[in-house]
A = this chain, B = another copy of it.
């Protein structure tokens, strides 16, 4: 019989699977280096070290401390102004404004995307507004900001919201629209609709996109804040990090300028690895939405 002829014949096997088998927890042994490599902080620390060394070497080679000081010079200025309490005070001022603007941006984005997901015209509204307003630079808002909020933090927050809102709204909306039809149907099956659907289904399901939006928004909030603190005259004395940078730049204290920027970098690292990474670990990574 040709069909069986190619088959290797062998005896049947029947085993007694004792349910009591103790199943050992097997783990592959790892080398020291592998174990260190597995700690994200170690890897990132290494990267930071390499970057700092590059900065230092390039700075020294350039030998133009007025334009680009080496890492060590910056660090010294940073340490001095940190000890003086100047940098912490300025950072605090900036962070306050930033957090308010950021939070308001998130709120407005939530509102806008909720409206957008609810109807076709809502989607059109969001798309149109975003494509129109998002490319506008802060100076476009200057006149309106002056009329509506006057000088000072009101206007800065207004500009911050502008820089945060659209990026978050775009990401959130795209995330919402990528949510699988099945999950949507499941939610509606529970009787959810409108806000309930957004809150219980769309937001968690689109969380990877939303997180990206929040990250991008956070970064742009910083950029805008630093720039806005210059444009929108801070009343002197009340300035934040942006003002600190500007002031030192005017006085050509370049090391201090970079110390200010370094503060921004540090905050960025802390927020990424402290806040965003934690959220990611507790949510999308845990839910199997990130690979």
Contact B265 A132 (CB under 8 A): yes
Contact B291 A135 (CB under 8 A): no
Contact A265 B136 (CB under 8 A): yes
Contact A249 B139 (CB under 8 A): yes
Distance in Å: Cβ of A38 to nearest Cβ of chain B: 8
Chain A's interface: helix, strand, loop or mixed, by majority? helix
Which B residues are in CB contact (< 8 Å) with A224? 137
Contact of A132 among B137, B269, B276 (CB under 8 A): B269
Distance in Å: Cβ of A13 to nearest Cβ of chain B: 30
Contact A219 B135 (CB under 8 A): yes
Question: Is A237 part of the contact surface with B, judged by Cβ < 8 Å?
Answer: no
Distance A123 CA – B224 CA, assembled complex (angstroms):
27
Distance in Å: Cβ of A257 to nearest Cβ of chain B: 8
Contact B208 A178 (CB under 8 A): yes
Which B residues are in CB contact (< 8 Å) with A47? 121, 124-125, 128
Distance A243 CA – B38 CA, assembled complex (angstroms):
50
Contact B167 A216 (CB under 8 A): yes
Interface residues of A in 120-157 (CB under 8 A from B): 120-121, 124-125, 127-128, 130-140, 143-144, 146-147
- 6 examples of A-B residue contacts, CB within 8 angstroms: A43-B121, A47-B124, A68-B144, A174-B211, A209-B212, A216-B216
